[in-house]
Amino acid sequence: MYSVEQVIKAFGKRDAAPVEREKQKPLARCLESLLKGGTVFPSSLCRLADGLLGMMDLDGDAMLFGVSETDRVPSWLTRFQGDLSDVQGLRVLMATVSPENAGALREIVPYTRPQTLGLNPAFGFGDRIGLATPGHAMAVARAEGRILPVFAQQSIREMSRTERTASQVLDDATWGVFRAGWTLPFGADADHLKTKSDVDVTAQAGFVFFTVDPSEYVDQQANDYGRDQIEERFQDLIDGKVEGASDLIKLYRGRTFEIEHGEERFRVIFDEPSLKRAAVKYSQALAHTYEMANHVAKCMSSRPFELEISVDETPQPTSPLEHLFIALELKRHGTSIVSLAPRFVGDFEKAIDYKGNLVLFDESLKQHMAIAEQFGPYKISVHSGSDKLSIYPSFGRICKGRFHVKTAGTSYLEALRVVCRVDKELFKSIVQFARQRFEADRASYHISTGLDLVPEASDLQDGELEKVYLDQEHGRQILHVTFGSVLTEKTDHDYRFREKMRTVLRQNRQLHEDVLRDHLGKHIQMLFMG
């Protein structure tokens, strides 16, 4: 039986603060009796001056609610767009999880705003459906503060493929953070930005971490050029007045850099051929990076932000000399980064574990980390980190906390796992459609599977579906690379699969959170095994 006095006693006196964990469930039951018809998320309950704020499930839809005394309505309550009513001496707000209300929530409850994370270890959780953040919060909570999450993380390419906007991605993370009661810092990563307009939309949405992807300006054939070709293209850089190119010979030719980090000691020598090859490969990409960095700074004005540079989307691994060249040039041009994603040795195919020699990976990573420490400091970032569990122990050990891991596709696959367990027919129809789209969608991915390696869903028993398509490499890759087609397929202007998937996930929230907690929690656990 609820008590109005109990609710009023729980009201806050000043700034936003979560209700103590041991009091959340009893207070949630009181509020459910008062509000009638919904299920309160206990972890969302937040004390504010003269009132309470929280989220609830109302007939399958997430709703925001606020409660205050009728004759003492705080100003924060009126900043949300919703319906106000009086219930037994209390003023009650019921509001939708709209963009306007998400913006108001970030202003009123500071812990729902993304922050810069600095050199702390960070783990990025991509969410392509918009319902994964509570499960992600459960996964990272197991690390007990040793690693900070990036709950809003999506590239422009992913936003395009899922038909979501930057604001939607950030708003979904905001609601997830609030519902989960996550109060530690979290980041928001505008990933793989290629143009100034990419920066504009993500900065305006509220992102604070910007990953510049200059891969279109990297000369991908530079490693194969002969000496004459290198000389010709190096002169083209100078003639084209590419920023900084004319000074490179004077600055670096013949210089030797002694690099030390812990027990790691090695030498990088900038002989003229190697220097010019690195310049040909990366100078235009770096010039684009400086331009993008300046634009980010302009867009963010006085707001704090962080910058990452990604050079991982190249066919050849980033050598120590190339990494050092990039680091020196960034510093020379006053471009500060918090992390860098090199192209590592081995293969980082989507949705499966690392393919390559682990000894060589460790040796290469030690060199990259040594350069990052001595000429930064900045973190080493690994993209396509989903399910690369075999490298996680050494990655955590070698980087000693100076790392950033990004995942995305694995959370989409775990959402499909929930669908598979709850609605076999929907899962079969998604698999059938994914197989139809596979050959077209695989074109932009480096993967090694094929349709002939995986049986049709109709040829499998229901009990075999999850194992074949979600536990084995070839099935996972087929489902991974077709995510955009699956999530945007429409019939009569309605999404064919997306809303059905969202309905399944909303109706089975606990299962969804549990599978995300277990799967992503294993990723995080492996990072600290070293």
Residues with active-site annotation: 191, 308
Whether a cis peptide bond, with omega within 30° of 0, leads into 377 is yes
DSSP string for 447-509:
----GGGS--GGGS-GGGHHIIIIISHHHHHHHHHTHHHHHH-EETTEESSHHHHHHHHHHTH
**Two tokens at 456?**
């049709």
- Check: CB of residue 330 under 8 Å from CB of residue 286: yes
Strands (DSSP E) contained in 206-276 are 209-212, 256-261, 264-269
**Two tokens at 483?**
């995510």
Tell me the C-alpha distance between 306 and 304, whole Å: 7
Tell me the C-alpha distance between 147 and 339, whole Å: 15
Give me the phi and psi of 243, to 5 degrees please. -55, 125
Contacting residues for 406 by C-beta, under 8 A, at least 6 apart: 124, 126, 150, 153, 189, 191, 381, 382, 383, 384, 385
Residues in the chain: 530
- Residue 366's alpha-carbon distances to 259, 266, 308, 343, in angstroms, are 11, 10, 19, 14
